[in-house]
Amino acid sequence: MLDAEAIARIVRRIASEIIERTSGSEQLAFIGIRHGGVPIAALLAKSVGQAHHVTAPVGAIDMTLYRDDAGSALSIPKGDEITFDIGGRDIVLVDDVLQTGRTVRAAIESLLAYGRPRRIWLAVLCDRGERELPISADFVGREIAVPKGFVLDVIAEGGPGDRVLLRKKAAS
Contact status, residue 47 vs residue 12, Cβ threshold 8 Å: yes
Residue-level pLDDT at 70? 52
Q: Which of 145, 111, 105 is nearest to 129 (CA)?
A: 145
CATH hierarchy code of domain 4-168:
3.40.50.2020
Helix, strand or coil, per DSSP, at residue 164: strand
Q: Per residue of the chain (172 residues), what is the pLDDT tens digit?
A: 899 999 999 999 999 999 999 876 779 999 999 889 999 999 999 999 988 788 899 999 998 776 666 554 555 456 788 999 999 999 999 999 999 999 999 999 999 999 999 999 999 999 998 999 999 999 999 999 999 888 999 999 889 999 999 999 887 6
Residue-level pLDDT at 172? 63
Sign of the Cα pseudo-torsion (71, 165, 2, 148, in order): negative
Q: Which of 152, 145, 151 is nearest to 172 (CA)?
A: 151
Q: What is the DSSP string of 39-100?
A: HHHHHHHHHHHHHH-----EEEE--GGGSTTTTT--PPP---B--S--TT-EEEEEEEEESS
The structural domains of the chain, with segments of one domain joined by +, span 4-168
Residue 41 makes CB contacts below 8 A (sequence gap 6+) with 30, 31, 32, 58, 59, 60, 92, 94
How many Å is the Cα radius of gyration of the chain?
15
Residue-level pLDDT at 72? 47
CA distance 140 to 126: 7
